[in-house]
Chains A and B, each alone.
Chain A
Amino acid sequence: MIAVIALAIGVAAGIFLEPTVPLALAPYLPIAVVAALDAVFGGVRAKLDGIFDDKQFTISFVSNVLVAALIVYLGDQLGVGGQLSTGVVVVLGVRIFSNAAAIRRHLFRA
C-alpha cells in the first residue's frame, strides 16, 4: 500500500513540478526509464516469490539507472552511442519480459 502511495506521489510530483530536463541529460532519460522499469519488475517478482528485500530493491534501482547512464555516456564518448543504448535496451528488455512472465505465472497460474 505504501509502495503504491509512494509511486503516486512520485508521478504527481513529476506532473505538477513540470521539471524541464536539461538538454545534456535528455539522452539518458529513456535508458533510465527502462532501467527503472527493470528494477520495478524485479521487485514485484521478488515480492510475489516472497523474497522481496528493501535494500536489494533500492540498490538495484540506483545501480541500474547509474550503470545504464554510464553505458550511454561511454557509448557517446566512443562514438557508438546508439548501439550501446540498443544493447542496454535489449538486455533490460529481456529481463523485463522474463520477470513479467514470472509475475504472470504467479498471478494467473499460467
Chain B
Amino acid sequence: MTSARRDDLLGDLFRTPLDPGYAQAAARRAAGAPPPRWGRAARSVTLAAVGFLLAVAYHQVVAEAPSASRARDDLVADVRSRQRTAEDLQRQVDTLRTQVDQARDDALADASGAATLRGLAAGAGTAKVTGDGAVVRVVDAPPQVDPVTGHAAEENLGIVLDRDLQDVANGLWQAGAEAIAVNGQRLTATSTIRAAGGVILVDFKPVTGPYDVAAIGSPDLADRFSSSTTAKRFRRYVENYRMQFSVKARKGLVLAAAPEPPLRYARPPSPSPSVSPSPSGGRR
C-alpha cells in the first residue's frame, strides 16, 4: 500500500474492509511460522464471548422496552390507590359530618333554630339536599377522523373546557338553581372550576367527561335554562363543533354536601381568658 493511498482514510476503508492482518498472518504461515498452539481455544472462547454478547444485548433490548410502560402502570396503580384512599376518607368525613349534624340538632333545644341552621347549610352547600331540577349534560365532541388517512385530527375544537362548565353553572344559577353539582361535586360560593393540563378541576378534584351538571331549583328550571343565552350558545357549539349538549328535567335529584371550606386565617377563640380582648382594649 502506497503512502499516497494511506492518506485517503475513507477510501482505504471502502477498498480494503478486511483486516490486512489476516493476509499478513497467512504470509507468515506461508513463510513457515508455526500457528500458535492456543489458537483453537482462543477462537472458541472468542466466539462464545460473541454469542454471549449478542444474547445479553438482545436481553437488554427486550427488557428495556416494557420498563417504560411498567413505570407508567405503576404510576397509574399508585394514582388509583390514592384515589381510593381519598374516597374512603371522604366517606368517613361524610358519616362523621352526619353524626356531627345529628349531635348538633340534638344539642340545640330550640327546634326552629336547628331548622334555620339546616336551611342555611343547605343553601351554602355544606349539607346534602334533595329535590327536583334539571341535569345538563355536555360531552366532548368525538375527534375528527380523516377519512383518507384514518388518523384523528390533532385539534379538536369541540372539547369541553373549564370555561364551558363555568358558563353552564352560572347559567343554571341565573335560571334560579338553588344547588348545583358537577359530576357529583357540589358547588358552593367558594368553588372553583379550573383547568390544569387539559383536565378540568372542580374544587381541585378532577372531573372527566361526560360532564353532568345537576341543579335543583324551580320546576321550570330546565325550560328556563334551555331558553337562556348560554344554552343557545351551546346549541351553536353542537352544530359547529359536534359537541354534545342536553338539558333534561329530573325529579328526585340528590346532591351531596360540599366539603366544609377549611379556615385559613380565622381561628375559633380559645377558652382561656388571657386571649380574650381586655375591656380597655386598643392600647397599641
Distance, CA A3 to CA B41, complexed state (A): 10
Contact with B along A47-75 (1 / 0, CB 8 A): 00111111111111110010000000000
B56 A3 Cβ-Cβ under 8 A: no
Contact between B39 and A54, CB atoms less than 8 A apart: yes
Do A94 and B53 touch across chains, with their CB atoms under 8 A apart? no
Min CB distance A72 to B, Å, is 14
Contact between chains at B39 and A29 (CB < 8 Å): no
Asked if A10 contacts B47 (CB within 8 A), the reply is yes
Known: A3-B44, A7-B47. A60 touches B59 (CB 8 A): no
Interface: B22 (CB within 8 A):
yes
* Chain B interface, DSSP helix/strand/loop, else mixed: helix
Q: Judging by beta carbons under 8 Å apart, are A10 and B50 in contact?
A: yes
Known: A21-B56, A53-B26. A6 touches B18 (CB 8 A): no
**Residue numbers in B under 8 Å from A42 (CB-CB):** 17-19, 22
Does B14 contact A14, Cβ atoms closer than 8 Å? no
13 A-B pairs with CB atoms under 8 Å apart are A9-B51, A10-B49, A10-B52, A12-B55, A39-B50, A42-B17, A42-B18, A51-B26, A53-B35, A58-B42, A59-B21, A61-B49, A102-B17
A positions within 8 Å CB-CB of B:
2-3, 5-15, 18-19, 21, 26, 29-30, 32-33, 36-37, 39-40, 42, 45-46, 49-62, 65, 91, 94-95, 97-99, 102
